[in-house]
């Protein structure tokens, strides 16, 4: 049984990532890397129409042959998506030598990381792994989470991103800043967004930011704090009663 250490890679922008294989599994891996602005090199003698279209539009670089030693030089990671264990073993040797992260579909012996089954809602990413024991279970759990986590998490997190600098300046003490973050996360803002009451959620956020008690705790001062506007609401819409 595999012992895994969960993590999320950041900073893939323009980093070289290699995908081996040209079928449906490779399509999914390429799409995931492109979504993170990675610089994708696809190595396969034959590819699907979807992957060929990516190459025609210069979204990816397609090397029209099978893997050869040296193909991983300068890469951050490689994903072997062709279900070819002999090819995987050859790529694994280079990945180990070059210090390249490698994942091989349905071949845990040639992996040093597992991507997991992922639910995405804008900036929110929830990855599920069974440590190679039962990937199908990870898929079913992902499907349940997709039903539980709606589009409201995307908008909420974008609002929170806009507030990071503000809260960092207002609450220089970590404990106070953490307390405010929990006040926001534990509030009814997400519930309002889930019901489509975007403007009401915005007003609620503004009220929390302007709360006198919260301000008084900052530095132990009762001095007034300058008014702060909550993040703008993209695509404002009317609300029902």
Residue with tokens 């909550």: 230
The confidence score (pLDDT) of residue 2 equals 73
**pTM score > 0.95 for this model?**
no
The confidence score (pLDDT) of residue 227 equals 40
Please tell me the class of the 116-149 domain: alpha beta
* Residue range(s) of every CATH 3.40.50.720 domain in the chain: 1-115
* Residue range(s) of every CATH 3.30.160.110 domain in the chain: 116-149
**CATH code given to domain 1-115:** 3.40.50.720
Could you list the mean pLDDT of each consecutive 10-residue stretch along the chain, which spans 241 residues? Answer: 82 94 96 95 98 98 97 97 96 97 93 89 91 88 95 96 92 92 96 96 93 50 40 44 33
The confidence score (pLDDT) of residue 215 equals 54
The confidence score (pLDDT) of residue 99 equals 97
């Amino acid at each position: 049984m595999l012992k895994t250490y969960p993590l999320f890679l950041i900073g893939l922008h323009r980093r070289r990532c290699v995908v081996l294989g040209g079928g449906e599994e490779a399509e999914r891996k390429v799409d995931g890397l492109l979504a993170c602005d990675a610089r994708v090199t696809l190595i396969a003698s034959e590819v699907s129409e979807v992957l060929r279209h990516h190459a025609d539009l210069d979204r990816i670089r397609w090397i029209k042959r099978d893997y050869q030693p040296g193909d991983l030089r300068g890469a951050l990671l490689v994903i072997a998506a062709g279900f070819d264990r002999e090819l995987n073993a050859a790529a694994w040797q280079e990945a180990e030598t070059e210090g390249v992260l490698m994942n091989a579909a349905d071949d845990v012996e040639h992996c040093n990381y597992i991507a997991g089954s992922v639910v995405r809602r804008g900036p929110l990413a929830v990855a599920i792994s069974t440590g190679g024991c039962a990937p199908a279970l990870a898929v079913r759990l992902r499907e349940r989470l997709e039903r539980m986590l709606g589009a409201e998490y995307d908008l909420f997190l974008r609002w929170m991103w806009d507030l990071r600098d503000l809260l960092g300046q207002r609450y220089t003490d970590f404990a106070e800043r953490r307390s405010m973050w929990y006040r926001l996360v534990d509030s009814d803002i997400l519930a309002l967004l889930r019901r489509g009451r975007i403007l009401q959620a915005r007003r609620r956020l503004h009220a929390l930011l302007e709360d006198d008690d919260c301000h008084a705790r900052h530095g132990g001062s009762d001095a007034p704090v300058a008014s702060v506007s909550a993040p703008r609401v993209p695509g404002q819409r009317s609300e029902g009663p």
